[in-house]
A = this chain, B = another copy of it.
Amino acid sequence: MADHTDTPVKSIGRMATLLETLQQFDGAGVTELANELEVTKSTVYNHLTSLEQHGYVVHEGDDYYVGLGFLDHGEYARQRQIGYQLIRQKTREVAEETGELCQYMVEEHGLGVFLIRESGRQAVETRTRIGNRVHLNHVTAGKAFLAYAPDARVAEIVDKHGLPGKTENTITSTEALEIELQAIRDRGYAVDKDEHLKGLYAIGVPIQYESGQPLGAMSVAGPANRINDEQRAEEIAQLLLEKANELQLTIKHSQS
């Protein structure tokens, strides 16, 4: 799980994997972590206390947890994204008007990151959470993004992360991807029948900057039985495209 690509400052690598497992385990003790990471207890202890002194970790009794120190940096990074406030508002509108779950995702380091998540009245519950990173070929919004990203960028991303499978429907070859992306461009939006999760149907469109480069992608997700019919899907797609277009105009002129 932990990438052993050696980085100049190895302590940062250790810290990163420490935090990841700390989060995975939903809180853990020193020994538990030491066993998992295959390092000495004292090493883990030193890291944890250092992280704690800087607000990145809390301990309750003998268990350590990821702390709220990350929330500050995280929210800063989120609000720094171009058009964040405007897109957030639009996402909310879509969620209310469709009643479904509407999300906005951006790309960073070749992966998709969920930035905004707004639930409508009858929205489904998914496991995705703000900040989660996913492979772009695993989600509808990700494919909508790729379809409108420069070819060179797509190639870079595929080269870096490959096209790992998730379900049997996931696209795992560059040829199939190219065909899919072309289909999305022809259609104007991306559609998925349970690629990410069984029984989930999703529609995604890119949010484009001037010059057409995508900032991210917005998607609506709901239970297949509710969205799968031709009529409703097309309705939602048109709504998304309309909102995306509005955003494109406002972002262009406001630059934030």
- Chain A residues close to B by CB (< 8 Å): 3, 5, 7-13, 15-16, 19, 23, 26, 45-47, 49-56, 58, 65-68, 70-80, 106, 108-109, 113, 115, 129-133
List, in ascending order, chain B residues with CB within 8 A of A5's CB. Answer: 53
Task: Known contacts A73-B131, A75-B131; decide if A106 and B9 are in contact (CB<8 Å).
Answer: no
List, in ascending order, chain B residues with CB within 8 A of A109's CB. Answer: 52, 55, 58, 67
A12's contact among B7, B26, B54, by CB below 8 Å, is which? Answer: B54
**Chain copies in complex:** 2
A77 touches B65 (CB 8 A): yes
Nearest CB on B from A178, distance (A): 27
Task: Known contacts A7-B50, A8-B49; decide if A68 and B76 are in contact (CB<8 Å).
Answer: no
A73 touches B23 (CB 8 A): yes
List, in ascending order, chain B residues with CB within 8 A of A75's CB. Answer: 71, 74, 129-131
Known contacts A58-B109, A71-B77; can you find 17 more A-B pairs with CB under 8 A? A5-B53, A16-B54, A19-B73, A26-B80, A66-B77, A66-B80, A67-B109, A68-B74, A68-B77, A68-B78, A68-B131, A70-B71, A70-B73, A71-B75, A71-B78, A72-B133, A74-B74
